Amino acid sequence: MTPEQKPVYARSCFLCKEIFTSTGKRKSSFCPECHTSPLFNVASSLLGQIRRAEKAGLSANVTFEQWLSTLDFFEGMCAYCQIVPYKCIDHFFPFELGGGTTWDNIAPACHGCNHRKGSHLPEEILQPDELERVRTYLYTRFDMEVTR
């Protein structure tokens, strides 16, 4: 390969799953069409958490469709306070304590609730109603995964 030529990579888009090619040093995970999709930021944020978990050797098997289902369940709001739109992905059982990026361990959170919870165990920080609401939802995801 000459210096003028850039390597070409065939990739599957994280969002639409279509095969596309990318060139250059950085291998994109999104096709050009999905880079302009309204869901791009949501998908990019999830992919970042998946990569973070994989790098730490933790489970990272949530799909984009599962995350959209979770966001739909909480109507795009913070799963904890239910007042503010979600802005980040929270690991219910903290990432720092081994909680992976799985359908039964992530919840949408606003910056305030995510910061308040931090790397604490949920029962150490959350109010009883917050704890019960999110725990119940996540446990149903776990049951769905086990019965598949």
pLDDT of the residue at 146: 53
Supply 114's token pair: 């995510």
> Averaged over 79-99, what is the pLDDT?
96
pLDDT of the residue at 147: 56
Q: In this structure, is residue 76 part of a structural domain? A: yes
Q: In this structure, is residue 141 part of a structural domain? A: yes
Q: What percent of the chain has pLDDT over 70?
A: 89
**Mean pLDDT of all residues in the chain?**
90
Q: Give how many domains the chain has, as a whole number.
A: 1
Which pLDDT band holds residue 75 (cuts at 50, 70, 90)?
Answer: very high
Q: How far is CA 87 from CA 34, 45, 76, 80, 96, in A?
A: 20, 10, 9, 12, 20
Q: In this structure, is residue 28 part of a structural domain? A: no
Give the global pTM: 0.85
Three-class secondary structure of residue 92 per DSSP: coil
| Domain with 47 in it | 40-147
Tens-digit pLDDT profile for residues 92-112: 999 999 999 999 999 999 999
Q: In this structure, is residue 46 part of a structural domain? A: yes
> By C-alpha distance, which of 39, 49, 48, 45 is closest to 17?
39
pLDDT for residue 53 is more than 90: yes
pLDDT of the residue at 23: 75
Q: In this structure, is residue 74 part of a structural domain? A: yes
Q: In this structure, is residue 19 part of a structural domain? A: no
